[in-house]
Amino acid sequence: MERVLITGAAGQIGSELTVALRKKFGADNVVASDRKTKTSIELRNSGPFEVVDCTDAAAVESVVKKYEVGTIYHLAALLSAVAEANPQLAWKINIDGLYNVLEVAREHACAVFVPSSIGAFGHSTPLDGTPQDTIQRPSTMYGVTKVAGELLCDYYHKRFGVDTRGVRYPGIISNVTLPGGGTTDYAVEIFYEAIRHGKYTCFLREGTKLDMMYMPDAIKAALDLMDADPAKLAHRNAFNVTAMSFAPEEIAAEIKKHIPNFTMDYQVDPVRQAIAESWPNYMDDSAARNEWGWRPCYDLPAMVKDMIDVLSKRLAGAAAAPGRPRFATETNFARG
Ligand code: SER
């Protein structure tokens, strides 16, 4: 069997997608890769692992050849707030890295899954019920790289016949890996703080609605889209997918049902607030539903219940450990 390669396997989505792909295709058929040498023991011990920096085209090609890779899940990228703090590096990783992966895919006939994002939209996009095909003029470097990436993937499909497919992920909430510096990270941080301290200071303003998704649905979206019948795909890069949309006070109210003493206040970060305001309040994902049967399993109450059940147990077990998780977005991005 042709093998699967995951880039950015140590990241927020990669660490869980690797586990799901190894379950589906067999551990030996799924090669996890990341530019970080320090990764979880599980990632390294549960199947093949390679150190690959996707900005190094020769390194990408060598691993594709070594394992006879047939499909690449290209997840290596910087998230929005980190990208805004370092736009030059964001271009290098998000665009040069993608270009290298697409070139290798063209030469070695690989299929490619590439995540886009709600960040691919901007102020001039209709932000309520954001259509699949609409104006995309983002104002962040992250968004610029995501739109360019969508176009590049479509180009490689039309021009060279590379089987490229992608989704526009909303904010992703997981109980395993912390996000690495995005605008939607508050929706993960809030659980750790609620369980440990009963309070959270939110960096987005009350009323800031954004699309969100629980990690099991994010994994399902990637797997289902890659399994889809290509004849049914009118679109490819990239499908709107969503599972829920909420503002900070709405997730806080849902958490309060489980942790009655929970309180939240606000200390707005102007950089991330401006980014959030340029993103959809909620997307229309009917193209994904119609073309490949997209259906999420978790809504807000189901996601909150599961997050609290899983994290409460894990954090209780770790209570003796000193310190607390450091969130990537504890940086004040206004300082750059
Ligand atoms: N979660 C991402 C971010 O906030 C959106 O794609 O950057």
* Domains of the chain with CATH codes: 3-170+215-240 (3.40.50.720), 172-213+243-281+296-319 (3.90.25)
CB within 8 Å of 98: residues ≥ 6 apart: 54, 74, 114, 149, 152, 153
270-297 pLDDT, tens digit per residue, is 999 999 999 999 999 999 999 999 999 9
Ligand 1 atom closest to residue 181's alpha carbon, by position in its atom list:
7
Ligand 1 atom closest to residue 146's alpha carbon, by position in its atom list:
6
Greatest CA separation for the chain: 58
Question: Mean pLDDT for each consecutive 10-residue tract of the chain (336 residues)?
Answer: 91 93 96 83 85 96 98 95 94 98 98 98 97 97 98 98 98 88 93 96 98 98 98 97 98 98 97 95 98 98 97 81 55 42
Determine which one of 67, 73, 142, 200 is catalytic. Answer: 142
| 150 touches 120 (CB < 8 A) | yes
At 334 the pLDDT is: 43
- The neighbour count for residue 333, using CB atoms within 10 Å, is 19
Distance of CA 42 to the CA centre of its chain: 20
At 180 the pLDDT is: 78
At 328 the pLDDT is: 59
At 335 the pLDDT is: 35
Length of the chain equals 336
Taking the alpha carbons at both ends of the chain, their separation in whole angstroms is 46
Mutate to test the pocket of ligand 1, among 118, 210, 212 (most ligand atoms within 8 A of CB): 118
pTM above 0.85, yes or no: yes
Q: Provide the edge-to-edge strand list for the sheet that holds 239-240.
A: 116-117, 167-169, 239-240
At 316 the pLDDT is: 87
The span from the CA of 4 to the CA of 110, in Å, is 9
The CA–CA distances, whole Å, from 71 to 2, 67, 105, 160, 162 equal: 8, 11, 8, 16, 11
282 is catalytic: no
The span from the CA of 3 to the CA of 19, in Å, is 15
The span from the CA of 90 to the CA of 95, in Å, is 8
At 319 the pLDDT is: 63
At 41 the pLDDT is: 72
> Tokens standing for 184?
């939607």
At 36 the pLDDT is: 80
At 42 the pLDDT is: 76
At 40 the pLDDT is: 72
